[in-house]
Amino acid sequence: MKDSKIFKKNIIIYVLLIFIFLAYLAIFYFVLKKRSICIIKAICHIPCPSCGVSRAYVSLFKGDIKASFYYHPLFWLYPVLGFICIFRNLKYINPIFKSKIFWISVLLLLLGVYIYRLIYVFPNDIFF
């Protein structure tokens, strides 16, 4: 399939996922009043690696970029990873998707930020 056809097909999926995420953020903000719905945190009492992403995006949409990075410094990474996964069949994205170095780097970055946040941002949440 040509790249332009693949792009058109995948952009619909990507935009749809963005709308689903925006709907989730609206529910998170207006209905749940920014209370955590994280299953891992509810069960283990420890924040998961993506705890704070919703609050980061709510802050971003309110124009508070500093708060966004406070709630989760890698909030911007998730749509990038989603883009790479959805558009993996494109000629220019495929080498990134197949790169083990890229995914190991992403994993190490997420893990590093997670450990940093556990120690310095949520020190009281580790040992409830």
Closer by beta carbon to Zn ion, 15 or else 119: 119
Q: In the complex, what is the shortest distance from the CB of residue 40 to Zn ion, in angstroms, rounded to a whole number?
A: 5
- Asked if residue 38 binds Zn ion (CB under 5 A), the reply is yes
Q: Interior CA angle at 81 toward 57 and 39, to 5°?
A: 60
Shortest approach of Zn ion to residue 13 CB, angstroms? 25
CB 25 within 8 A of CB 61: yes
- Taking the C-alpha atoms of residue 112 and residue 38, their distance in angstroms, rounded to an integer, is 20
Question: Among 46, 48, 60, 77, which residue interacts with Zn ion (rule: CB under 5 A)?
Answer: 48
The secondary structure of residue 46, as a DSSP letter, is S
Q: Which is nearer to Zn ion, 38 or 113 (CB)?
A: 38
Regarding 51 and contact with Zn ion (CB under 5 A), the answer is yes
CA 95 and chain centroid, separation: 22
Chain positions contacting Zn ion, by CB under 5 A: 38, 41, 48, 51
